[in-house]
Amino acid sequence: MRMRLCSFCVKSGILCQKCQEKIETGEINETYMRIAKELIKFEDKYTSIQKISLNNVYNVDNIIILAV
Ligand SMILES: [Zn+2]
């Protein structure tokens, strides 16, 4: 899966400077991180997830919208 954060950062939850900056500037939101982390877990099981790129995640009225 292609993401806008490094997969290492998403998996570990420890962000490198580059990813940290993206969060701080609001380019990437917390929801994005949360969803990316969940999706990574399913990557091995569902190969279709490997092919997508996660562009953005929105949380609108508690409905999660994935932009892929
Ligand atoms: Zn990173």
- For 41-58, the pLDDT digits (tens) are 999 899 999 999 999 999
Predicted confidence at residue 67, as pLDDT, reads 93
Centroid of ligand 1 to alpha carbon of 53 (angstroms) = 16
Centroid of ligand 1 to alpha carbon of 7 (angstroms) = 7
CA distance 18 to 45: 29
Centroid of ligand 1 to alpha carbon of 26 (angstroms) = 15
Centroid of ligand 1 to alpha carbon of 19 (angstroms) = 4
Centroid of ligand 1 to alpha carbon of 28 (angstroms) = 12
Class of residue 56 by CB neighbours under 10 A (exposed 0-12, middle 13-18, buried 19+): middle
Domain coordinates of the chain in residue numbers? 7-67
* List of the chain residues with pLDDT < 50: none
CA distance 7 to 9: 5
